[in-house]
Amino acid sequence: MDDRWGAMFRPDVLVPPLASGPLDGKTFAAKDNIDVAGYVTGAGNPDWLRTHKTASRHAEVVALLLEAGATLTGKTHTDELMYSLNGENVHYGTPVNPRAPGHVPGGSSSGSAVAVAAGLTDFALGTDTGGSIRVPSSYCGIYGIRPTHGRVSMDGVVKLAPSFCTVGWMARTATDLALVGDILFKANPGRGGMEAKRFTRCIVPVDILHLAEPSVLDPFLEALARLQSDFDVIRFETVAPEGLAVWKWAFRVLQGREIWKTHGAWIEAVHPTFGPGIAERFAWTRKLTEEEERLARRLRASAIRRLKALLDENTVLFMPTAPGGAPKVGLDTATLEGWRSKLMQFTCIAGLGGLPEITIPSMVVDGLPVGFSVIAARDQDERMLKWVVKWSERLVLSHPPTGREGGRTN
């Protein structure tokens, strides 16, 4: 495999299909927090790799895909313990964003996004706790889905914060994205059952538009304009009555408390070496208090109520996936933290609500890809995928080439 993009942690992995099925002939890669039998799962950190054993079985999602005919052709890089949205791993390097060389690929599913964007595999598995599929998909100009929380099995996957973690996937085309959904959602049918009905109402979050880079607004509204004929109602609404910054705080605190519960014991036992930013972040999760968790729980309950009121089964929410295109590689920690703080106000909506979100490679802003996101009520995943297959072609505002020639030049 020609991995000059640095997407792969283990390019040598090659697992043939376990059976023939709808994914015959398709190749995929899995983020290195997802077990593949016979390999140690590394989770982006050498100390984790060193202190864990070889996986004896495939993660459930890997098995399902292999049984459906797909071939696994590599394990991809992740940010350390999946706790970043950036894609710069101090131990293993930064995968090259094929659509924007010189800019980060986004994370934590950095290698999976790059593998797909560069055409190394047809699709790739990732995980998304606070944006780890949506953000790199947006930055790298590909499709990505974070399913309804709980819809796709996390068996055999290293978690970050269980009440937010999801397994999802990325693809270059809407049809491939939907094809994988056919397999994985069928394994755990939701309470949707509305696939045949169209979405009739859409909501545009005013508070998100305020936060987006000004140059995102024109292409976003251009994309929205192309969709309006399919909706009876388009409403511009403030999503977060408490403010998205407050929602983000609640998300970060709850995520942080769960992270420490999940990984604190290992960190205290092993004293792993973490890169800049990551070490501070883990130290911060350790200091969070019960009082903060209680206030954050209150706020999450309020956010869930609000999102339920906004999003009934016939309503979708449209927004830019991120405030803008990918930041440059090698920015200082303070600048990156500022960006992250803004970015998480975008990603915390689906995160707090446990809602499905699909990002479509629709916009190009200042030469960089920016995703167009669709969020819907819980368990509307299959219906959303159908919608994306039908409409996404219309949403792609430019069709830049993939590979080296792409990215900054278009």
Residues that bind a second copy (CB under 8 A): 204, 206, 209-210, 214, 217-218, 221-222, 224-226, 228-229, 234, 236, 238, 241-243, 245-246, 249, 289, 291-292, 294-296, 298, 302, 338, 341
- Minimum Å gap between C-beta 396 and a second copy is 15
Q: How many CA atoms lie within 13 A of 293 on its CB side?
A: 14
Nearer to a second copy, 291 or 332 (CB): 291
| Catalytic residue selected from 84, 108, 110, 362 | 108
- Minimum Å gap between C-beta 231 and a second copy is 11
d(CA 157, CA 147): 15
Q: Look up 26 and say whether it is catalytic.
A: no
Nearer to a second copy, 154 or 203 (CB): 203
Question: Of 105, 116, 131, which Cα lies nearest the Cα of 177?
Answer: 116
Q: Look up 31 and say whether it is catalytic.
A: yes
Nearer to a second copy, 187 or 204 (CB): 204
Nearer to a second copy, 119 or 338 (CB): 338
d(CA 24, CA 51): 36
- Minimum Å gap between C-beta 327 and a second copy is 17
Nearer to a second copy, 14 or 221 (CB): 221
Nearer to a second copy, 135 or 303 (CB): 303
Give the number of residues written for the chain.
410
Question: Of 98, 80, 111, 370, which Cα lies nearest the Cα of 217?
Answer: 370
Is the previous residue joined to 373 through a cis bond, with omega within 30 degrees of 0?
A: no
Q: Look up 108 and say whether it is catalytic.
A: yes
Do 170 and 124 contact (CB within 8 A), yes or no?
yes
Question: For 43, which DSSP code?
Answer: T
Q: Give phi and psi for 320, each to the nearest 5.
A: -65, 140
d(CA 375, CA 349): 9
- Minimum Å gap between C-beta 185 and a second copy is 32
| Catalytic residue selected from 26, 31, 75, 159 | 31
- Minimum Å gap between C-beta 163 and a second copy is 19
Query: Taking CA 3 as the corner, what is the angle to CA 322 and CA 40, rounded to the nearest 5 degrees?
Result: 85
Q: At what angle do helices 174-186 and 60-67 cross, to 10 degrees?
A: 110
- Minimum Å gap between C-beta 306 and a second copy is 11
| Catalytic residue selected from 84, 110, 132, 373 | 132
- Strands of 288-378, DSSP E: 315-320, 357-365, 368-376
Enzyme catalytic residues: 31, 108, 132
